[in-house]
Amino acid sequence: MSVLKNIGRMSVRRMATVSATKGPTAVVMLNMGGPSTVPEVHDFLHRLFSDGDLIPLPFQRVLAPLIAKRRTPQIEKQYSDIGGGSPILKYTRIQGEKMCQLLDELSPSTAPHKSYVAFRYARPLTEEAIAEMRADGVTRAIAFTQYPQYSCSTTGSSLNELYRLGKKGELGNIDWSVIDRWGTHPGFVEAVAQNIEKTLQKFPPERRSSVVLLFSAHSLPMSVVNRGDPYVLEVSASVSAVMQRLGNKNPYRLVWQSQVGPSAWMGMQTREAVQGLARLGRKEVILIPIAFTSDHIETLFELDLEYVKEGHELGMDIHRSESLNESPVFIRAIADIAAQHLKEVSSGAPRTSNQLSLRCPGCTNDTCGQQKAWFSRGGQ
C-alpha cells in the first residue's frame, strides 16, 4: 500500500504540471450502480425496469413504473438490512482514483488521468459523468466497463446510453475508445484466486481440497442467452481461468443468482445449488462472486444474508469469498488493462475490440449496431 501512496504523491505533482495545458484523459467507469441511500431505491428500480437492454418486457413503458412501485418496499428493506445503501459508488471511486494514480506512471504520455463514474441506474448517471468531463475540458476518453464479462444487457446497455447522448450532441468533442471485457485478464484472475485462497484458510487443512467452490454470477434471461449473447461463455471462461490458477484442486460449479420475474433465466440458481449440496451431504462450501468487482446488494444481501444464512440453517460450513473492493492486486490489474489499451490505441490499433464489433447473431436492436459503428469511429 505504501507503493500506491508514493505513486499517488508523484501523480499529483505530474497532474499539477500537465493539467495546466490540457484536460485529463478520462477513464469512464461504466457500471449498473446502486442506490446510495434508501430514498433512492424507487428511482433506481424505475430506471432499471425501464431498460429493455437489461430486462426486456412487453409494454415496457407501462409495466416498468408499476413493477418499480410494487417492488420498492421490499428492496428498500433489503438496503436497510445492509446498512442503508449500496457501497458500490464508494468502491468504484476508490478503484478509479487508485487506478489513475498508477496510470499516470504507467502511461505518462496520456497523463494526467481522471476517473469518472457513469452508472446506468443510480447517481452519478451517465449524463452527470459527461457534464463533469465537459467541465474538465476532456477531449480523450476510454469507456471502461466494470463488468469483467461482456453482455449486451450490461456493458452493451451502458455503451448504448453513451451513444444516445452522443447522437444528440451532448458529449462534446471527445475522442472515444472502449474497453469492453477483461474476464480472463491475469490480474483479475489472480485477485479472485487470492480471495478464494484466503477463504479456504477457514476450513481445516485436511478438508480444504474437498470444499466445494460455487462461483455465482448474475443470471440472464434465456431470451438474451438464446440470441447469442456471449455472457455465459465469458463467465465460464473466467471460472476456468481461476480454477486453473488454483490448480483445479477443488470441486466447483458455476451457478446463477438474482433472477427477476416468471420468465426463464439461466440456471441453476445459486439458492437451489446450496440446497442441493446440503441434501447431497456436501456441506463445506465457498460462495464466490465472479462477475462483480465490488460489494453491493447481490453480495451483501443475497449471498450473505440469504444464501449463507440458509446454508447455516441446513448445517453447512459455508462462507463467502470477499469481493475485490480495494484489492491492490485488482486495482493494479485494471490499471494495466487501461495502460495497455492506451498504448495500443496510440499506436494505431482499432478503438474497439474485434469482439465488440460482432453483433449477436439473433440481434434485432438497431441501436446496438449503430453504437458499435459509432465507437469504432471514435465517437463520431
| Residues designated catalytic | 185, 336
Per DSSP, what are the bridge partners of residue 221?
265
Provide the grid cell at 313: 440453517
Q: Where are the alpha helices (DSSP H) in the chain?
A: 2-18, 41-50, 60-81, 88-106, 126-135, 155-167, 186-200, 222-225, 231-245, 270-279, 297, 309-313, 328-346, 354-357, 366-376
Query: DSSP states of 286-330 as a string?
Result: EEEE-S-SS--HIIIIIIIIIIIHHHHHTT-EEEEPPP-TT-HHH
Count of residues making up the chain? 380
| Closest to 292 measured CA to CA, from 327, 248, 252 | 327
Q: What angle do CA 101, 379, 44 make, to 5 degrees?
A: 70
Provide the grid cell at 356: 465488440
d(CA 92, CA 156): 19
Q: Give the CA distances from residue 96 to residues 121, 190, 363, in Å, rounded to whole numbers and listed in that order.
A: 19, 19, 32
d(CA 117, CA 120): 10
State the first-to-last Cα distance of the chain, in angstroms, to the nearest integer: 40
Residues 6 or more apart whose CB falls under 8 angstroms from that of 56 comprise 221, 223, 224
| Closest to 368 measured CA to CA, from 53, 101, 25, 83 | 53
